[in-house]
Amino acid sequence: MNEEKVTALIKELLRELGENPEREGLRKTPERVMRSYKFLTQGYQQNPERIINNAVFESHVNNMIICKDIEIYSLCEHHLLPFFGRCHIGYIPRDKVLGISKLCRIVDVYARRLQIQERLTAQIAQEINERVNARGVGVVIECRHLCKMMRGVEKQNATMTTSSVLGCFHDEAATRAEFLSLISRHLA
């Protein structure tokens, strides 16, 4: 990212909105917005393979592995407004498992890009599937979208749920049902 150029563009945007970018409250806003966008889109500069950093381990378990309630923050590619919520991941390994923190890092790599929730869900599932050659993968994301809450239809309580199921999660109704049951149940 050309930080100087982006800062100048934000300054110009403030002018076009009818603001004075030199007034006290806005003097440092262009730099802050530039740094914010740099952070919120850092997924473009990240490589999932490097993020995983060889944290793929041999394992002979064939049970379902689930990581629930991973916080997710992303930007809608249509309005550049945030959407946020939770991601639930399940997979059944063949002979390799991912380090548990790597599931969260995979979510962040793809969420820190301009996104639509549908594509984000599929990208996470495909990445996990490719890294461990899983028997199956399931990803469910539940989010609230500020582009829907603050403008447009202005619906404050509507959430969007998307899923991507691969392998046995797609082909076997019982596996898919077990996954959906486990992510919806509140475990103590």
Q: In this structure, are 115 and 147 located in the same domain?
A: yes
Task: Enter the pTM of the model.
Answer: 0.94
**Residue 72: closest CA among 165, 178, 159:** 159
Number of domains in the chain: 2
The reply to whether 109 falls in a domain is: yes
Rounded distance, CA 50 to CA 36, Å? 23
Give the side-chain half-sphere CA count within 13 A for 129. 18
The reply to whether 60 falls in a domain is: yes
Work out the pLDDT band at 187, boundaries 50, 70, 90: very low
The residue segments making up the domain with residue 29 are 3-40
Work out the pLDDT band at 60, boundaries 50, 70, 90: confident
> Are the beta carbons of 95 and 58 closer than 8 angstroms?
yes
pLDDT digits (tens, 9 = 90+) for 116-175: 999 999 999 999 999 999 999 999 999 999 999 999 999 999 999 999 999 999 999 999
The reply to whether 28 falls in a domain is: yes
Rounded distance, CA 92 to CA 134, Å? 6
Q: In this structure, are 111 and 173 located in the same domain?
A: yes
pLDDT digits (tens, 9 = 90+) for 72-86: 999 999 999 999 999
